[in-house]
Amino acid sequence: MKNPLNILEVLKSIKKRIPLILLLVITFVAASGAISYSLMKPVYQASTQILINQNNTAAQEYTTQDINTNLQLISTYNIIIKSKTILNQVIAELDLDENYQSLSDKITVSNIEGTQILTIDVVDASMADAVLIANATAYKFQEAIPNLMNVDNVSILDEAVAMPAPVPVRPDPVMNMAIAAVLGLLFGAGLSILIDQLNTTVRTEEDIEEIPGLQVLGIVSRVTDAKSSKKSEESYIGREMEPYVEQEKIQPANSAKIGGTY
């Protein structure tokens, strides 16, 4: 019976059910915090940087064209680093309980824009394992690249190091709870609107006018409760009786005065 696009009605529905919305927000945040701190395992990240440099070229012969050539090869290096040739050697050397696909999913290779530096990021449930995998991948790539591309232009720029008190990159409880709060707010608002739209009770004149074939003939004023009605009635009767009470008080006095004259 209501126009679902009526913004004022939507706001009224939401305002009317603010306690329900707040309860849902608190529930979502509490559930997200419990899952983030208790059920989700922390994941750590280690990074190794490698430098792609020019091979066997004197400093004076090192031109911009040489740099551009190396930059064009970086996309090729990205693929080689995550290839089975490299990762299977890493698995064998570290004796990892991994297969090629699972290890590949843990590794991300990126390039710092405008540079000849590649960054190998590894995520793992163990910070120590992440460091070992990142460094082993970089060294295995450095060893294999001369045979694969007949070049020797890869240097380890910065090895991964295990921090004394590593901070996990996932999960982020604060972010998760913030997202849960927003979801709870949206869910609560949507639920409030849905409840109001499913309520077919006729409550206003507008509701009647939206029903085909019906029109408003009259409006009955709101009836107060019994106590208020009784109190109002007693107050009204008291005001009505005041003139008679005053008259009764005056009449005996006048009668006494008149009787004294005889």
Query: pLDDT digits over 54-84, tens only?
Result: 555 444 455 666 666 666 777 788 889 999 9
pTM of the entire predicted model: 0.58
Q: Clarify whether residues 48 and 26 are in a common domain.
A: no
Helix (H) or strand (E) holding 197: helix 173-198
Task: Work out the average pLDDT over 193-221.
Answer: 67
Residue 144: give its domain's CATH number: 3.30.70.1130
Q: 189 in a domain, yes or no?
A: yes
Q: Clarify whether residues 61 and 140 are in a common domain.
A: yes
Q: Clarify whether residues 140 and 229 are in a common domain.
A: no
Q: Clarify whether residues 103 and 29 are in a common domain.
A: no
* Domain end (from 158, 181, 210): 158
Q: How many structural domains does the chain have?
A: 3
pLDDT of 238 reads 55
* Distance set, CA 156 to CA 47, 60, 118, 127, 240 (Å): 12, 23, 10, 20, 104
- Name the residue with tokens 């590649």: 118
Q: 239 in a domain, yes or no?
A: yes
Contact between 50 and 153 (Cβ < 8 Å): no
* Distance set, CA 34 to CA 23, 24, 28, 30, 88 (Å): 16, 15, 10, 6, 38
Q: Which residues pair with 117 in a beta bridge?
A: 51
Q: 102 in a domain, yes or no?
A: yes
* Distance set, CA 35 to CA 42, 50, 90, 181 (Å): 12, 37, 33, 14
Q: Clarify whether residues 53 and 34 are in a common domain.
A: no
Q: Clarify whether residues 82 and 126 are in a common domain.
A: yes
Q: 215 in a domain, yes or no?
A: no
What is the Cα–Cα distance from 260 to 220, expressed in whole angstroms?
A: 60
| CA-CA-CA-CA dihedral for 202, 203, 205, 208, to nearest 10 | 0
Q: Clarify whether residues 77 and 127 are in a common domain.
A: yes
Q: 209 in a domain, yes or no?
A: no
Query: pLDDT digits over 20-66, tens only?
Result: 889 999 999 999 888 888 888 888 999 999 987 755 544 445 566 66
Domain limits at 134? Answer: 44-158
What lies within 8 Å, CB to CB, of 97 at 6+ separation is: none
Q: 163 in a domain, yes or no?
A: no
Q: Clarify whether residues 34 and 48 are in a common domain.
A: no
- Under the banding of pLDDT at 50, 70 and 90, the label for residue 205 is low
- Name the residue with tokens 């064998």: 92
Supply angle C-alpha 38, 41, 43, rounded to 5: 140
Q: Clarify whether residues 35 and 115 are in a common domain.
A: no
Q: Clarify whether residues 100 and 132 are in a common domain.
A: yes
* Domain end (from 103, 131, 158): 158
Q: 194 in a domain, yes or no?
A: yes
Q: 65 in a domain, yes or no?
A: yes
